[in-house]
Chain A
Amino acid sequence: MSDNILEIKDLHVQYNTDDAVVHALNGFDLMLKKGEVLGLVGETGAGKTTMALSILRLLPDKVGEITEGSINYDGLDILHANKRDMLKLRGAKVSMIFQDPMTSLNPIITVGEQIHEVLDLHFPDMSKSEKDRRVDEVLELVGIQVHRKTEFPHQFSGGMKQRIGIAMALVAEPELLLADEPTTALDVTIQAQILKLMKELKDKFNTSMILITHDLGVVAEFCESVAIVYAGEVIEKGTVDDIFTERNHPYTEGLFNSIPSLTCDLERLIPIPGFMADPTNLPQGCKFADRCKYCMEKCKTSVPPTYEMGTHGIKCFLFSDKGDE
């Protein structure tokens, strides 16, 4: 699959804290084609942010550890790349929009300068006027008035801060954009604006994107393909069509059932019983087993492989006869 720009295979990541070892990613697999927009869906704590940070190797020093697996970006072996290659990659080829706009910007540097910094780092030969022009351009693109680039983050609202974050991520025209819940901290109207903006950018630059979210609605509207994450694994993946029309992994089924619907009458929402598996003490078999209403004996002892049915892949023994491993 040479048109894959990103290939993550069997990635295991853990956090070594004082109290315990937290297994954040447990055999994470992901493929992304050039120009593809993938929605990464999962609850808090499923490992989505960890995956994004791993791609850029930005896990917290000493605490975060990649123990197994491989990440391949456009031919570059990320896990064994040297520092220089990583520095060239970050911000220019692969950039990230962080989840919390309130804390992601340096409070004592002007926003213009923070965006400018990306260009300073990656295009040392570019003239100052050209860099200024690009900064202005990207600010206009995200809808921030250019004359405000000499102001400081605290002078902007949450939504605008997020847009500044987006501007910083885009100014170097990256090939891959990792957007970590870019709209979660914002209200719905701003959310719509930002998604529209990202759609425009995708069209303009053909940027590949991974949109991390816990909102299936956003995925349906905006993404081409989806990957559902649970307890550090991708338990289901496919095109938006696959996920939304065909039969799903029991967890995904549960997700759909938990969303209130405008179209059908429902007395109560059906939540998924129980809690996500404790990442410091993971169960032996399928990690969803204790919450799954279809749970079988073998689910408790062995981890299911991913069964592929065309573009649709599901990591569940229920599909063992349907697809190929």
Chain B
Amino acid sequence: MLIPVIIGITLFIYVIMSVAPGDPARMILGQDATVEQIQAKRAELGLDRPLLIRYVNYMAGVVQGDFGSSWYNEYNVIAEFGARLPNTLTLGMTAMALAALLGIPLGVFAAVRQYSVYDYTTLVAAMIFSSMPAFWFGLMAQVYLCLKLGWLPATGADSLVHFILPAVTLAAAILASQVRMTRTSMLEVIKQDYVRTARSKGAPEKRVIVKHVLRNGLLPVVTSLGMGFALLLGGTVVIESVFAIPGVGSLLIGAVRLRDVPVVMGIIVVIACFVGVMNLLVDLLYAVIDPRVKQGYGL
């Protein structure tokens, strides 16, 4: 499944690129470049060869782990990616953990206490945070908490403390949707007949919730965690920009601004692989939770 995706995406970008206006060589060299300089640059970048040949060469490199070099700077794409990855990972994983570990319990609690003050507050808060632009939230938090009050560092990634606000900001939107999703799923399950059966056996409510409702309600929650992960990846880009964290996201933005295609392509491909792996993990998690799925796999 992953192979067609990678081929599809890369081919697609290549095709668009060849269709789009603007000569990369000219853009790199600037307005004053002479015709000879431009042609030399084109040869250097391999732009003078036909599309398909360039594509095949590129893919051949990719298979070996070589994603080429940036058109504007000298660095190797995959090397630069690797150097920046730790920052992005820290940010992403922290945010994901926050969203999951806080979001799921909050959602369960809201479902169990449906119609209560707690439930309504949670819903409203979730609504607000999932509609608010993450970068705005980050920006405002940065201004008030960092620059005005000085509680947290505003930019950079020098220490773990530097990651607190970015992670919280990033987590906010995902957390919000996670809470709502969990709540909805739990409410669905609570209505089921087999929950009533459990009660009729004399099970106290706590046991009913934990043993019967929770596990059955977890499946859609796992799905939404998977989807939240994709959103997270997108949000990382923005948050890194707000808080000036030197990670993969800011690398991408810089590359997009410059139309530095090898860098953009490389990042996209790696991310697609990453997402593929996550989806696989989600599927495995399904099998663990739901025995019906497990049997489907013959485990």
Report which A residues bind B (CB closer than 8 A): 56, 58, 62, 83, 87-92, 95-96, 98, 100, 103-109, 117-118, 121-122, 152, 154, 165, 168
Which 8 residue pairs spanning A and B have beta carbons closest together?
Answer: A91-B202, A91-B201, A90-B202, A103-B193, A106-B194, A104-B197, A87-B202, A96-B200
| Given A122-B202, A168-B201, residue A108 in contact with residue B193 (CB < 8 A) | no
Q: With contacts A90-B199, A98-B196, A118-B201 known, what are 20 further pairs, Cβ within 8 A? A: A58-B196, A58-B200, A88-B202, A91-B200, A91-B203, A96-B200, A100-B193, A103-B192, A103-B193, A104-B193, A104-B196, A106-B197, A107-B216, A107-B292, A108-B216, A108-B290, A121-B201, A121-B202, A152-B295, A168-B201
Residues of A within 8 A of B297 (CB): none
Interface string of B195-209 (1 = CB under 8 A from A): 011111111100100
Residues of A within 8 A of B196 (CB): 58, 98, 104
| Given A62-B115, A108-B215, residue A90 in contact with residue B201 (CB < 8 A) | yes
Residues of B within 8 A of A106 (CB): 194, 197-198, 212, 216
A56, B292: Cβ atoms closer than 8 Å:
no
- Give, as a whole number of angstroms, the nearest-CB distance from B85 to chain A: 37
The reply to whether the CB of B291 lies closer than 8 angstroms to some CB of chain A is yes
A87, B204: Cβ atoms closer than 8 Å:
yes
Main secondary structure of the interface of B (DSSP, over half): helix
Which residue in chain A gives the minimum CB-CB distance to B292? A154
Residues of B within 8 A of A109 (CB): 211-212
A104, B199: Cβ atoms closer than 8 Å:
no
| Given A107-B216, A108-B215, A108-B291, residue A98 in contact with residue B193 (CB < 8 A) | yes
The reply to whether the CB of B147 lies closer than 8 angstroms to some CB of chain A is no
- Give, as a whole number of angstroms, the nearest-CB distance from A100 to chain B: 6
The reply to whether the CB of B132 lies closer than 8 angstroms to some CB of chain A is no
Residues of A within 8 A of B194 (CB): 103-107
- Give, as a whole number of angstroms, the nearest-CB distance from A54 to chain B: 12
Residues of B within 8 A of A95 (CB): 200-201
Residues of B within 8 A of A58 (CB): 196, 199-200
Residues of A within 8 A of B295 (CB): 152
Taken together as a complex, chains A and B put the C-alpha atoms of A107 and B200 apart, in Å, by: 17
- Give, as a whole number of angstroms, the nearest-CB distance from B224 to chain A: 19
A108, B289: Cβ atoms closer than 8 Å:
yes
Q: Name which of B115, B203, B211, B215 has the most chain A CB atoms within 10 A of its CB.
A: B203
Which residue in chain A gives the minimum CB-CB distance to B200? A96
A108, B292: Cβ atoms closer than 8 Å:
yes
- Give, as a whole number of angstroms, the nearest-CB distance from B242 to chain A: 42
| Given A103-B194, A105-B194, A106-B212, residue A152 in contact with residue B292 (CB < 8 A) | yes
Partner of A90 from B193, B200, B207 at Cβ < 8 Å: B200
Residues of B within 8 A of A92 (CB): 202
**Can you sample 11 A-B contacts with CB below 8 Å?**
A92-B202, A95-B201, A98-B197, A105-B194, A108-B216, A108-B291, A108-B292, A117-B198, A117-B203, A121-B203, A121-B207
A105, B197: Cβ atoms closer than 8 Å:
yes
- Give, as a whole number of angstroms, the nearest-CB distance from A5 to chain B: 18
Residues of B within 8 A of A117 (CB): 198, 201, 203
